[in-house]
Amino acid sequence: MKYCPQCKAHVKTVHDYCPICHQGLNGEMRESFVSPYPEKQETRKTLLPVTKNILFFLTLLAIVTLAVINLLASHETWWSLVPIGSVLYFWLAVRIGVLSRHNVAFRLAMLTVVLIAIVNVIDIFYGGNKGWARNYVSPFVLLSANLALGFLLWFKNTDYRDYLLYMLTIIVFSLVPLILYFTGLVEILWPAVAVFGVAVLILFLITLFFPAAIKEEIKKRLHF
């Protein structure tokens, strides 16, 4: 054991100075002595944050470049908004879909919502509002999300707890096209019916197979 004559305290350490007054210590430790706390090791930096930053920087660069070219070349029309939208979607797709640590169901739900928002904006503001986005693309994006989540839930049913909420969100969203049809905002009926049918079927299957889980999930998420 070492000893600090200034502090009159014993010190268990391999270092030669006192931890509280930083003056020299007397005495020696036994050969077998191990430091009471681990030494600092350099923590391994993961590549993920760097990749995220590079991606963000490239996205920003592309958007600024597009906007500048738009302003300099022809500022009568905002044609650059369509490529900017695509760049943004690409960024979100990679950021949420690939680089995020959230669970698969969350990523799918997020990407579905973002994709639907973007195609509708493009259709309404730049495609002459022909309605293809809300009539066909949106229902089918929802339909595929429904099916994908249904399969996920089916095959990975051990951690259904983490998926259920996003699953229910997508199902609720799937009712929107049909509601829009009855309010007259959507003109084509059958894609809306198709997605509604699939959503109801999946909902029926979930309630059939995990009735208690659904009740629990709702109780958990809504307790106050």
Partner 1 sequence: MKKNIYNDWYMLDNSAKIFPEVSTRRETNTFRVEITMKEVVDPEVLDEAVSHVLKRFPMFKVRLKPGFFWSYLDYNANPFHAEKMTHEVCGAIDPKNNNGFLLKVLYYDKKIAVEIFHSLADGAGAFSLLKSIVYEYLSLMGFFVQSDGLVLTKDSRPILEEYEDSHKAYYDKHNRKHVTEKKAFRISGTMLPEGTTGLISGELSTKEILALAREKGASVTEYLSALMLKVIYENKIAHREHMKENKRPIKIFVPVDLRKHFPSRTLRNFSNFVKVGLRMDEKPYTFDDLLEETGRQFSEGLKKEELIRKMSENVSFEKNPLMRISPYILKKPIMKLGYELVGMKLNTMSLSNMGRILLPDSLKPHIESVGAAVYSGKHNTVNMAVASYLDRFRITFTRSIVETGIIRDFFRHFTQKGLNVTLESNYVEEWL
Name the site residues for partner 1 (rule: CB under 8 A). 1, 4, 7-13, 15, 18-22, 34, 36-41, 43, 101, 158-159, 161, 216, 220-224
Minimum CB distance to partner 1, residue 158 (Å): 7
Minimum CB distance to Zn ion, residue 8 (Å): 8
Contacting Zn ion (CB under 5 A), which of 1, 6, 35, 125?
Answer: 6
CB of 165 closer than 8 Å to CB of 216: no
Which single residue is written with the structure tokens 């698969």? 104
How many Cβ atoms are within 10 Å of 174's Cβ, its own excluded? 24
From Zn ion, partner 1, none, interface partner of 8 (C-beta below 5 to 8 A by class): partner 1
Minimum CB distance to partner 1, residue 215 (Å): 12
Minimum CB distance to Zn ion, residue 107 (Å): 56
Nearer residue to partner 1 within complex by CB, 32 or 77: 32
Nearer residue to partner 1 within complex by CB, 130 or 220: 220
* CA-wise closest residue to 12 among 36, 31, 43, 45: 36
* CA-wise closest residue to 221 among 141, 180, 182, 166: 166
- Distance CA(83)–CA(80), nearest Å, equals 6
The stretch near Zn ion (CB under 5 A) out of 3-11, 114-122, 199-207, 214-222 is 3-11
- Distance CA(195)–CA(190), nearest Å, equals 9
Which single residue is written with the structure tokens 């590079």? 54
Minimum CB distance to partner 1, residue 34 (Å): 5
Minimum CB distance to partner 1, residue 37 (Å): 4
Nearer residue to Zn ion within complex by CB, 14 or 21: 21
- Distance CA(165)–CA(171), nearest Å, equals 10
Which single residue is written with the structure tokens 């963000």? 56
The stretch near Zn ion (CB under 5 A) out of 17-25, 100-108, 126-134, 191-199 is 17-25
- Distance CA(42)–CA(2), nearest Å, equals 28
Please provide residue 25's backbone torsions phi and psi, each rounded to the nearest 5 degrees.
-110, 150
Residue 86 binds Zn ion, judged by CB under 5 A:
no
Note the residue count of the chain.
224
Residue 4 binds Zn ion, judged by CB under 5 A:
yes
Q: Which residues bind Zn ion (CB under 5 A)?
A: 4, 6-7, 18, 21
